[in-house]
Structure 1
Amino acid sequence: MRKLEQYQPEKQKKGKQTGLISVIVTVYNIREYLPKAVDSILSSTYQNLEVLLIDDGSTDGSERICDEYAKKDGRVRVVHQRNGGAYSARNTGLLEAKGDYLTFVDGDDWIEPQMYETLLAAMMEQDADLAVCRYRKIYENRRVDLSTPMAAVFEGQELLAKYLEEDEAWLIQTAVWNKLWKRSLSDGLRFPKSLYEDMYFTIRLLAKSKRSVYLDWAMYNYVCSRATSTTNIGLNEKTFNDLIPNFYERSAFLREIGREDLALLQDYFLYKRLLLFYTAVCRSQDPKKKEHKAFLQQKIEAGKDCYAAVYGIPQASSQEYRKMKLFLKSPVLYRAAMRLNDSFLIPIKVAMANRRHR
């Protein structure tokens, strides 16, 4: 990895914007949000765009809004299809796209005008096949933006490794919407039928990259406040049927490509999550609490033979290993320790930290 502390790619004049960028927007009953998303794309300082609006069987008027944009701007192309879910609409977009470069925008988010010009310029200057930017989190009453002027160039699978570390200082994210890549990078790659289809797609995209560039300033606006958003859904059946299996699938993929080191890193965060899910289920009003507790306990105990390797990686926390050992000894003792930790120890630590900062 090579850091660029103060980096600003050169602006691209309109006459030199020769590479076609396909922006794929999946649309399903988002009439209230869609115009802002599409307007932000069409206002991009990079003008050589193909905007693909994939209407996934909308019934709220979103389909008509798509057609109106196609009539107003020749860069917009609409595909109407029967409702098949987000993964199906995204795959349609990949098949229909004609661009040299590909990206996605969720229909309830919006982008900054310079996003694609900046990402593509950085790719060209650094001879990269993939670019990623930080994003701004949009809540109902606040915005979170930790942008800096820093950038970094990653060789081979270095960006994949950084992504798997889940370090919030590097907002790489599982999503495809804060990334721009050469078309060849995703040739033959499709989204699976899953609520968390990005997890499958992104890890493979990053694994194929030969050189990538990360820009640490927010050019994508991600709306976090929609209650119906997939990412805002709490612990439920999808956690057990889609999310957890996806984590196991990612570990298997990393081993398939010969990255046992990264598979162990992925496993570390998987087992950390399983313990968190177990605690959450125990404290919930889940009607299937007994079933879900048994499922999680079985998954956690099934991995015990590999825990020495998993918790032996440099990124692993000794505290997390102690939690796991306690759980394996007695889930009852583990639950009691977590209640003690949350009720007494954490408040004490927070109070002490506040005193130090006065």
Structure 2
Amino acid sequence: MEQRKIFSVIVPVYNVETFLHQCIDSILKQTFTNFELLLINDGSSDSSAAICLAYQKNDDRIKLINQENGGASSARNNGIHHATGDYLIFVDSDDFLDSDDLFYELSQTIQKHNADVVLYGGKNYNVSSNNYSISRGNYDLTIIKSFSLIQTFEYLIQKKLFPGSAWVYTTKAKLIKENGIFFRTKIIAEDIDWNTKIFGCVSSIDAVNDLYYVYRKNQVNSVTGNAGVKGINSILLIIEDWLPKLEIENKPVNSFLLHNLAYYYFTILVLYSAISADDKIKLKQRLKNCFVVTKYSRTVNLKVLRFFCQLLGIPLTSAIVSKLYYLKERYI
């Protein structure tokens, strides 16, 4: 009888021939080997599909699934449908794992506590500056391993460690499938929506502390670099959909999820200053309508930003915030 897999590692693949070997190799060399690797070829037009096929022929843990191009969310959803492991791990195909022991450490933590979600640390690799920086990590395990959900949420929010991406934690597959959780398609901020769904359902959170994951920032063709109007529309759509649901449902964790939406509202300010005057006019009313979410801000920084938006208005605050953001990205 085939051994049940502990992890299903889901990797959407689309035209990443330059980085794909590093990504796949970093997964296959994990010291803990009881996992399956699902490579979801999302209609690649370069040699990515051939690279995936070559790996599949040499390692029976790999499943190659080909689909017509539908975007990262569609590919991740396809991976969820085919996954058989107890926990799901998402890795973007232009990123890589920086430790051979991530899966081992996760498996040990899961064996002890069986949490719904296990967080781990990560680094950003800035392609432009060739520098690494800590993305998240150094969790206070004393707080997290107390398994007080509210205390953990408060800690993650205050320390700016609340997950922003699907690849910074592993999730129990049963939680995902029983709650019918899938990635929203046709938007570019799908992880915001996904995290809201996941953390609205969890009953326990655990963590391991090393910096295991490397996120490749500032690529020429990255979504982040070309977000603009589409990025703003995606975030506003998520806020418009989730705000009334979270406000009406009386769950203690919702105040933290609303804070997280407020955080992403303020990230719009970075994008807003760079779009055209016509697009600003088109988005003005929606921005005004969604500003109400900022009243749920729980950190000092967001409360200050809310004050300046009320005092100076969104356009001027946006110009200031975006200037500071790009200075930080350039020199840090």
**Shorter-chain TM-score above 0.5:** yes
Aligned with 1:106: secondary structure? Answer: coil
CA distance in 1, matches of 2:20, 2:203: 35
C-alpha distance 262-68 of structure 1, shift in aligned 2 (>3 A):
same
Structure 1, residues 316-342: CA drift from partner, whole Å, max 9, x if none? 866445324425xxx4xx766887999
CA distance in 2, matches of 1:315, 1:240: 24
- 1:200 shift after superposition: 1.9
Please point out which of 222, 227, 233 is paired with 2:220.
Answer: 227
Please point out which of 198, 207, 216 is paired with 1:214.
Answer: 207
Contact 1:156 1:210 in 2 (8 A): yes
Structure 1, residues 266-286: CA drift from partner, whole Å, max 9, x if none? 555655665674686457555
Partner of 1:326: 311
CA distance in 2, matches of 1:341, 1:91: 35
Partner of 1:129: 116
Question: What pairs up with 1:9-158 in 2 under 5 angstroms?
Answer: 19-111=5-97, 112-140=99-127, 141-145=130-134, 147-148=137-138, 150-151=140-141, 152-153=144-145, 154-156=147-149, 158=151
Task: Find out whether 1:182 has 2:182 as its counterpart.
Answer: no
Q: Which amino acid aligns with 1:155?
A: S
Q: Which amino acid aligns with 1:90?
A: R
Identity of aligned residues (%): 24
Number of matched residues?
312
Task: Find out whether 1:258 has 2:250 as its counterpart.
Answer: yes
C-alpha distance 124-61 of structure 1, shift in aligned 2 (>3 A):
same
Contact 1:24 1:93 in 2 (8 A): yes
- 1:249 shift after superposition: 2.9
Higher Cα Rg, which structure: 1
CA distance in 1, matches of 2:63, 2:10: 10
TM-score, normalized by length of structure 2?
Answer: 0.80
CA distance in 1, matches of 2:193, 2:317: 35
Structure 2: 5+ residue runs without aligned partners? 325-332
Contact 1:224 1:232 in 2 (8 A): no
Please point out which of 165, 190, 195 is paired with 2:188.
Answer: 195
- The RMSD of aligned alpha carbons is 3.3
Structure 1: 5+ residue runs without aligned partners? 1-16, 347-358
- 1:207 shift after superposition: 2.6
Partner of 2:330: none
